[in-house]
Amino acid sequence: MIVAVVIAVFVSQAAAGDIRCPAPPLKSGPDFSLPCILHSPIPETDDVVYFGSGSFVLSKDAKAILDRQAEILLQIPNLMIETIGFVDIAEAPADSEKAELGRKRAAVVREYLIGKGIDAGRVTASGRDYAPIIPRRQNEETLAAMRYVRTIVRE
C-alpha cells in the first residue's frame, strides 16, 4: 500500500514536470534520502555510458542510451542534470590529464544531449580522475568498467 502511494506521488510529480530533490542536510556530498533515491526519472540502466581506453568518442550503444535520456529530459523540461566523466587508473600518466579526459567525456555526452534538443542551460559537465571504486584486480574488464560518464539529476 505504501509503495503504491509513493509510486503514485512519483508519477504525478513526473507528469507535472516538477521533480526536485531536497538539499542534503550538510550541503555536501550526495543525498541518499528516500525521496531523492526515488525521484530520478532516468533509470539506473540508462544513466551510464562507457568509453574505450583513452577515448571520448561515443559508441553506438552509448548513443542509444543517450537517446533514451534525451526522451526523458524532453518530457520533463525543468529537470537539471550533470554529466560526470571518469577514467580508469591506467589511462593517462598525470592526474591533470586524467581529469581532462574525464571532462572531455562528460562534455561529449553533454553536447550529444544538446544536439537532441535539450537546452544547454539544463546540462552541466564535469570530470573526475578515477572512478569511485578501484578494483583490486586490474585487467581490461575491470579497467573498462571505470571508463564512463554518469548522468545525475541536479536540483
The number of domains in the chain is 2
pLDDT tier at 76, thresholds 50, 70, 90: confident
Q: Are residues 33 and 58 in the same domain?
A: no
For the stretch 6-43, pLDDT in tens is: 333 344 344 334 444 444 444 444 444 434 444 567 77
Pairing type for strands 123-130 and 148-154 reads unpaired
For the stretch 145-154, pLDDT in tens is: 889 999 998 8
Q: Are residues 81 and 58 in the same domain?
A: yes
Domain that holds residue 26: 1-39
Residue 56 — left, alpha, or beta (φ > 0 → left; ψ -120 to 50 → alpha)? alpha
Q: Are residues 145 and 90 in the same domain?
A: yes
What CATH number did the domain enclosing 107 receive? 3.30.1330.60
Q: Measuring CA to CA, how many Å separate 138 from each of 5, 83, 133, 141, 142?
A: 44, 25, 12, 8, 6
According to the model, what pLDDT value does residue 103 have? 94
